[in-house]
A and B are shown apart, each in its own frame.
Chain A
Amino acid sequence: MKIRLLPRITRWHPIATTLILAGTLAAIARFTYGLGATTNLSDEFPWGLWIGFDFLGIGLAASGFTIVAAVHLFHAKEYEPIVRPAILTAFIGYMLVVLVLILDLGRPDHFWHPLVMWNPHSVMCEISWCLMLYTSVLSLEFAPIVLERFNILWPIKWIHAISLPLMIFGVLLSTLHQSSFGSLYLIVPNRLHALWYTPLLPVLFFISCLASGISMILLESLIFSRGGRDLLPTRLRANLAKVIAVILALYFVVRVENLLARGAWHELTTVTYFSLAFYAELLIGFVIPFGLLVVERVRNSRRGLYAATLLVVVGFALNRMNTAITGLESYPAQTYFPSLIEIFIMLGITALGFSAFSFIVKHLPIFEPVAVTPRVRQEAVTARPEPVFLTRHGGDLESS
């Protein structure tokens, strides 16, 4: 069957090609002329759009580890159909982030240094390690899909043998670096605006990545179910929606309670650039979607869910961008706006990601939409033991 990707964007190919070309040119410029000439970064604002993009990419790719934990560790097998798309998203997300990170480094040729030169006190070092290890884990989780396509089955068995520790390791690594992105800012209490700085940053980053990760799963299950087939039946979607609502509430309570405890709420009583950014983030990403998701009718409707999860993701993006950019603009009264080259590189890489996704979806068995009767996989050789990544024994696959 054919699944049309993002059907509403017509002429996707020329757009993507243009963006990727522009991004490539921008990247060439960045390498030829250095960071100073091509970005708006400065000594006072050494991190900008690209770091924000990394936060975003990693946060949205959290769908990968949440779904693996749910299906394979918590045995919520009925969510199986969404595992592959989620792993693919995560895999591509991480690849893009690694790409952006390397572009962002002043010395891309030294990118491998963290592997051999350690500094256990550095959050950045921990993140480098987690990123690298988790990308490897994702590759291993993704490999069976590729291998299966080419009918090379012996490594799958091998991967299957280590799959449980592998998955646990992956979930732990994600927990670590998802929160560590927050820890990056623990050391700049004097720079980061009080509305965003809190010793709880790692905790908040982790909680919010769960919400956005699951929202991404839902979004994917909705986007890719066009054409009458659903990846997840309504009941399961509604369940996930409930989980998101709980996580949003948890986040809200922790965040607000912390603001009150630290007295930072004073900042909210006046209308400033910062308080507006804060309100926007909290309302769009947490309050409104929570309000929507507690309504059963919204949870059960495709459009309602679509809107709510999209809000969560947008609010999440605002939160990360606020932490990475807005919050730092308070000190030392610096403003920063990314240069065109920074923007083009980011757009180009995003387009690359989408193109890779649609290419892979076309050529590999990623989607197994819920059919009226559970289908037997065509590709799997039934005589061999089925590796865990290939199994489709959900049992209660129902159509909605």
Chain B
Amino acid sequence: MLIDLTLCVGCNVCQGACKEENQLPPSEEKYLSLTAYTALSKYNDLYIRRMCQHCDVPTCVSVCPVAALSKSEAGPVAYDGEKCIGCRYCLQACPYHVPKYEWSSTKPRIQKCKFCAPRLAKGLPPACAEACPTGATIFGERDELLLEAARRISAEPTKYVPRIYGKDDVGGTSMLYLSPVPFEQLGFDARLGKIPMPMLTMSALSKVPNVLSVGGVMLGGIWWITNRRSEVAAFEASEKKGETPEHEDKP
């Protein structure tokens, strides 16, 4: 989806449509919550729509130990409450603070925007995009939306900052934003780079097989060598008779 902040008038129709689609209580909410998968936050006179970014390389998917979260080809990052063990690593790791947890439940689950996966499967646009009266949120193929966004920027270079947020932030996201002011002023975390967050972990995780194989051989080798040494020492000691064998002091 492409979200053009210059077109958003803050009518909150997207939240209403989302709540209806997902059978959530209809009250208006200012922040993402268990009952608000999308929310508008206001910066001066700009409204910015928060929701799950449906990252191309989602952090939440990469951290989940049981693969309860998954990214589908069509774009949505889906959640399976039957698998979830409730470790809350996804809450900790999501760079956009999106997943919300049912803290008050004894069988808690994660809640977040579902990208209206059932609607997409039927060939319909997400409820929020369909409802948006000004076209601030439009739905389409990511490639086409990127072209459209670039076209808007080049057509009116004074209106927009020359940046499509989400094009390659944290490795690219399904949600793309256009803004008249720098994104850092809109509460977007400037510290998130272009490298997908899961890469940060991969560099460590990819060493696991090495540690196992190289470490195994090394430890085995050390055992063998030191064993041999103490045998030799014991032998020499018995040769000299009476002297205690000298061991390595290395623990």
Contacts and interface: CB of A to CB of B under 8 A. Distances in A.
Nearest to B249: A239
Chain B CB within 10 Å, residue with most, of A43, A44, A202: A43
Contact of B230 (A37, A77, A128): A77
Interface in A111-126: 111, 113-114, 117-126
Given A66-B251, A114-B65, A123-B201, A34 B106 contact: yes
Interface stretch (A3-11, A144-152, A164-172, A365-373): A164-172
A243 B91 CA distance: 40
B40 interface: no
A191 B229 CA distance: 50
Given A117-B66, A240-B251, A126 B205 contact: yes
Contacts of A44: 97
Contact of B92 (A36, A189, A191): A191
A179 B212 CA distance: 13
Interface string B60-97: 01111111100000000000000111111101110101
A43 B35 CA distance: 14
Contacts of A171: 215, 219
A188 B92 contact: yes
Interface in B237-251: 244-245, 247-251
A177 to B, nearest CB: 10
A113 B191 contact: no
A301 interface: no
B205 A34 contact: no
B108 A106 contact: yes
Contacts of A191: 92
B235 interface: no
B88 A47 contact: yes
A190 B191 contact: yes
Contact of A190 (B103, B104, B189): B189
A183 B88 contact: no
Interface stretch (A14-22, A67-75, A288-296, A348-356): A67-75
B59 to A, nearest CB: 6
A143 B105 CA distance: 40
A395 B202 contact: no
Contacts of A69: 219, 251
Contacts of B102: 36
Nearest to A111: B85
B250 to A, nearest CB: 6
A338 interface: no
Contact of A187 (B91, B189, B200): B200
Interface residues of A, number: 73
A229 to B, nearest CB: 21
B108 A34 contact: yes
A95 interface: no
B51 interface: no
A32 interface: yes
A171 B85 CA distance: 28
Interface string B208-244: 1001100110011011001101100000000000001
Interface string A30-62: 011111110001111011000000000000000
B155 interface: no
Contact of B204 (A43, A75, A183): A183
A75 B95 contact: no
A176 interface: yes
A105 B87 contact: yes
A306 to B, nearest CB: 19
A163 B192 CA distance: 47
B84 A126 contact: no
Contact of B191 (A104, A108, A189): A189
Given A107-B108, A168-B216, A187 B85 contact: no
A395 B237 CA distance: 12
Contacts of A180: 204
Nearest to A77: B247
A43 B106 contact: no
B175 interface: no
Given A121-B198, A175-B215, A187-B197, 11 more contacts: A31-B106, A46-B88, A73-B222, A107-B108, A110-B84, A120-B205, A123-B201, A125-B65, A125-B66, A187-B201, A189-B200
Interface of A: 31-37, 41-44, 46-47, 66-67, 69-79, 104-108, 110-111, 113-114, 117-128, 164, 168-169, 171-172, 175-176, 179-180, 183-184, 186-191, 199, 202, 214, 239-240, 243, 332, 395-396
